[in-house]
Structure 1
Amino acid sequence: MTTIRPSETLARVELFHSLPPDTIARLDTRCIWRRARAKEWIIDYQDESTDVFFLITGVARVMIRSISGRETILRDIEAGAFFGELAAIDGQTRSASILAITDATIAKMTATTFIETVTSHPDVSLRLLRFITGQVRMLANRVNEFTTLAIRERLITELLRLSRANRADPREAIVSPPPVHADLAGRISTRRETVTKELSAMEREGLVRRGRGALTLVDVPRLVAMIGDKEDALDFKT
């Protein structure tokens, strides 16, 4: 990563939305501002650093790598979010790797400044607690999926999670742009070839339809029934 002159501000970070402008301005000056290029690793698994990173522009991805070398995608991080807070809180090594998916602008804050800010502002502390609680729930759901669902069920669950409702047809949902098979494999902890095989079978069965720029889930109620009506899979974008 190369240092750039900061033209952005932490005011874009949801965690700090309640802070007054003068406090934000002071925090801006206490950060190191950097630009990461697409496909650049920002944090490595088990790295001993404890800084917290705020994603001002771009998209990043949280990944873990198994002993066998297989990579699992946990989630994508959008602009306005942050990562690295666990190491800042407990001082332990990094629990996951972070990869820049697009070019990104990042503000790096020391653990000391982060803890000082959180403990000095109860509203920021509450936002952080709610965020961590949400991550715990998400990871619990993922563990449940990996241990109780077959590969096709995991694939359907992930497609539903990535989709948005089709306003023209309430029975359909759309994934756009269409997901890369290797990325889907990483999200559900399987092989790319398996995802390709399952999607082809689902297309033959009339469950999905591939089109230019999108993958359509043809019958959402039927797909939901196939995975046992998991509520977390129904959070469509509208």
Structure 2
Amino acid sequence: MRCKKGQQFIMEGAPVNGLFFILKGTVKVIRTGINGREQIVRLAKEGEIIGHRGFGTEEYYSIGAIALQDAVLCYFSKENLQETLLDNPKFAFDMMLFYANELNRSENKVKSISQMTVRERVIDSLLYIHRKFGDLNGFLNLPLSRREYADYAGTTEEQVIRVFSALKKEKLISAKGKKIGINAIQSLKKEINDHNYFLDS
């Protein structure tokens, strides 16, 4: 299936009917927090799965998913996936390892975020996007709004703007509209080194 930029293809709380593989494009995975505030759980790109945490015993999706860019998705129904897992032990084993790795990353992220300052969480978000999506012409290859940075870092838009302003003054980053460039990646890594920035890729 094809999704236009901004189109939501998984609704949080909807019945689970399958999962999606991203063939092309970028997707944000969200959960609704306190007072209906959107929290970005992760950012996914081509080659990744969306909706897998609802697969199995869950009846409803605990997350929503929205295309950040035009995307092409491959949909697998619960029934098709269950048949494949039962017929293919190697695939079932690989899925088990995938889920174990996902759980490990989630636990590490919760631990790190609970111990980080707002500045460190914003820096962690920048480094995560840099690791996952890389650079394009000197800027991160995934332009996000300040609100989206805030939703991922678990803070407010005002705080993100404040941290970005400080990082620009320190010449650690540059900005042009929505585009953010990292000028001193080692300096940013050093700031959050104690939190094992590399755990979430």
Whole-angstrom CA distance in 2 between matches of 1:77 and 1:186: 15
Over the aligned positions, Cα root-mean-square deviation in angstroms equals 2.7
Whole-angstrom CA distance in 2 between matches of 1:206 and 1:101: 28
Cα deviation, 1:20-43, whole Å, max 9, x if unaligned, reads xxxxxxxxxxxxxx3222211111
Per-residue deviation, 1:212: 8.4
Change over 3 Å in CA distance of 1:124–1:162 after alignment to 2: same
Task: Give TM-score, length-normalised by structure 2.
Answer: 0.83
Equivalent residue for 2:48? 81
Whole-angstrom CA distance in 2 between matches of 1:55 and 1:226: 33
SS at match of 1:90: coil
Equivalent residue for 2:63? 96
1:150 equivalenced with 2:150 (yes/no): no
SS at match of 2:61: coil
Per-residue deviation, 1:234: 8.0
1:49 equivalenced with 2:16 (yes/no): yes
Whole-angstrom CA distance in 2 between matches of 1:211 and 1:40: 26
Change over 3 Å in CA distance of 1:35–1:228 after alignment to 2: closer
Task: Give TM-score, length-normalised by structure 1.
Answer: 0.72
Q: Which has the larger radius of gyration?
A: 1
Is the contact made by 2:145 and 2:178 (CA closer than 8 Å) also made in structure 1? no
Unaligned runs of 5+ in 2: none
1:121 equivalenced with 2:88 (yes/no): yes
Per-residue deviation, 1:122: 1.9
**What one-letter code is carried by the residue in structure 1 that aligns with 2:90?**
D
Per-residue deviation, 1:99: 0.9
Aligned length: 197
1:201 equivalenced with 2:186 (yes/no): no
Unaligned runs of 5+ in 1: 1-33, 167-172
Whole-angstrom CA distance in 2 between matches of 1:161 and 1:59: 14
Whole-angstrom CA distance in 2 between matches of 1:206 and 1:57: 34
Per-residue deviation, 1:114: 0.5
Change over 3 Å in CA distance of 1:206–1:81 after alignment to 2: closer
Equivalent residue for 2:195? 230
Is the contact made by 1:71 and 1:189 (CA closer than 8 Å) also made in structure 2? no
Cα deviation, 1:96-129, whole Å, max 9, x if unaligned, reads 1111222323333221211110121122112212
Equivalent residue for 2:104? 137
Percent identity, please: 23
Equivalent residue for 1:4? none
SS at match of 2:56: helix
